[in-house]
Chains A and B, each alone.
Chain A
Amino acid sequence: MNVFFVKDLCVHFGSKAIIEHVDFTVKKGSVTALVGPNGAGKTTLVRVLSRTLKPQSGKILYNDKDLFTLPTKQIAKTLALLPQMRFIPDGLCVQTLVEYGRFPHGGNNGTSRKEDRNIVQWAMAKTHTLHFRHTPLARLSGGEQQRAWIAMALAQKPKALILDEPTTFLDIAYQLEILELLRTLNKETGLTIIMVLHDLNHAMRYSDSIMIVRDKKLRSIGPSHDVLTRESLRMEFSIDSDIHWDSRNNCPYIIPHRQIHHEGAL
């Protein structure tokens, strides 16, 4: 069963192509990590899946239905986003933000029904944001803000979650905590997760499937040990590296050595 089915997707801004002829599927209950160098089109790709950017051509099915003809509020009941571009209104406190997560479920302000209130509490507890729930978002650190936004997305009680760089701004303990939390939610509730990650080791450890996006194209997709090899790291990321086995976490581990300058490239 596929959550997303993407066929011959093309996106361009004006005359500049950003994504060209991309096909892939995302399985229900899987964790997919999007990796690739800066400017490769990762954010554009997740924005299209998030329906916040309309592609010029191609087909996107979400649970076998056309993503761009479904009512957006209905999608929001099962699909939550953590976008990169967002604004923090002056004085908005954490709990209010998390309550907005109940909007697609009809609880107009997120506090009207007991069920809504319980879910908001649960989302804040899961992300350890309860103790600063009355603090304005603007006064929190980057990591605390990130957890508050994730709490908002969780309050939607989604079946699928798209995150654009969820670990950016977080210190290493919270990076692990967020990724562990996402993995736990995935295992316990079958939440499908698609996320853009920069750290390849995180991608290998916390995902079932890795997509490498570079130069407007989907270069490869599959389990980490198939997709991230010494050869592909050299080709797609321009690094010379060794890959070891992390026996404690049961996943491969990359140790990069140096940057390679391709002849004629860049």
Chain B
Amino acid sequence: MMVLLPIALIVSLQCGSCSIGPIDVFKAIFIDKTSVNHQILWNVRLPRVLVGGVVGMCLALSGAILQGVLRNPLAAPNIIGVSSGAGFAGFVILIVFPDLTRLVPAGAFIGALASTLAVYSLAWSRGVQPLRLVLAGVAVSSLLGAGMSTLMIFYPERVHGVLTFMVGGLSARSWPHFNMIWPYALAAISISIFLPTRLNILSLGDDAATGLGVHVERTRLILIAVAALLAASAVSVVGLLGFVGLIVPHMCRKLVGPDNRILFPASLFCGAIIVIICDTIGRVLLDPIEIPVGIIMALIGAPFFLFLLKERKKSA
């Protein structure tokens, strides 16, 4: 996987409306800084690919953490309210205050963290049980979902603007976006280096984890906070890209097993690779029309995931 990531990166940089050879890619980025190729690569493709990679990492790691901490294979960043919070905040800005569109990422980020906090405190009762958290998440999400639908009904003429935000896309993402998310991503990923063993132990059950000296509530809070931070920073930049956080950790679990010490890095790499590849396909397939990466991911990812599931059954 570590080999695949640079390959995906380079291939993605080559492809586009105007394709550039692998050697020219290096030349254009590092040596010949005046060429047209440099303009295309440096200002358009490179930041977009980097944003895609970081977003993929964030969402995949966030999903891996949440599936472990909630002991629920269906857990994904949207289950703790991240997506619905970001979505609602994004909708309000895009539909009600269309003049403030540039504030969408910041608003979505705050919305995501706020709704996660709401879900967490609603689930609290002498500690947070995973099931209560999942249920509170579903309830808050459907409430915010109703809010989004209401907005769409009241402002039908502005619905088009929110569609791309809903599907999730990397179109026109550039350096400002990258600079916005990498500090959060780096912080959250660095914290997560210390967490996999604790998450492994937590998955044995609360009582067994306490017996082994893991502070259950504190660890759970930290894990959820890290997952929320990762997902919020990703969602704020690309919109409601749902699929990566659910499927990539599962794919990785099939490939490398359930040990979070290996699963975390595997999810990071795999998430980046998949988002970059899918975005590349989306750009090239119907050129000059761009297909949002969220759609490509569901189209390719879902069948691939079903294939993995089937393979696993045969070998077991």
Chain A residues within CB distance 8 Å of chain B: 47, 50-52, 54, 72-77, 79-92, 96-97, 100-101, 103-104, 108-109, 149, 152-153, 156
Given A100-B197, A100-B204, A104-B213; 15 other pairs, CB 8 A cutoff: A47-B207, A52-B211, A80-B211, A81-B208, A82-B211, A83-B211, A84-B207, A85-B207, A86-B205, A87-B203, A90-B258, A91-B258, A101-B212, A103-B213, A109-B197
Measured between alpha carbons, how far is A52 from B212 in the docked complex, in Å?
11
Contacts of A54 in B (CB 8 A): 126
C-alpha gap A20/B201 in the complex (Å): 33
Which A residue's beta carbon lies closest to that of B203? A89
* Complex: A97 Cα to B258 Cα, angstroms: 12
- Does B206 make an interface contact (CB < 8 A)? yes
Cα–Cα, bound, A77→B211 (Å): 9
Taking CB atoms, residues of chain A closer than 8 Å to B215 are 72-73
B208 near A72 with CB under 8 A, answer no
Name A161's closest neighbour in chain B (CB-CB). Answer: B211
Most chain A CB atoms below 10 A, which of B197, B207, B261 = B207
Interface residues of B (CB under 8 A from A): 71, 126, 197, 200-201, 203-208, 210-215, 253, 257-259, 261
23 contacting pairs across A/B (C-beta < 8 A): A50-B207, A51-B210, A54-B126, A72-B213, A72-B214, A79-B211, A83-B205, A83-B207, A86-B205, A86-B207, A86-B208, A87-B204, A87-B208, A89-B200, A90-B253, A91-B257, A100-B200, A100-B212, A101-B212, A103-B197, A103-B201, A108-B197, A156-B212
* Chain B residues positioned under 8 Å from A89 (CB to CB): 200, 203-204, 258
Q: Are B261 and A52 in contact (CB under 8 A)?
A: no
| Chain B binding surface SS class | loop
Chain A residues with Cβ below 8 Å from B253 are: 90-91
**A92 engages B258 (CB within 8 Å):** yes
Cα–Cα, bound, A153→B203 (Å): 16
Residues of B within 8 A of A149 (CB): 208
Tell me which residues across on chain B come within 8 A of A84, comparing CB atoms.
207
- Greatest chain B CB density within 10 A among A80, A83, A153 is at A83
The answer for the CA separation of A91 and B263 in the assembled complex, in Å, is: 13
Q: How far, in angstroms, from A51 to B207 measured CA to CA in the complex?
A: 9
Q: Pick the residue among A81, A100, A153 that contacts B201 (CB under 8 A).
A: A100
Q: Which residues of A contact B258 (CB under 8 A)?
A: 89-92
- How far, in angstroms, from A75 to B200 measured CA to CA in the complex? 20
Q: In the complex, A125→B180 CA distance in Å?
A: 54
Contact B259 A96 (CB under 8 A): yes
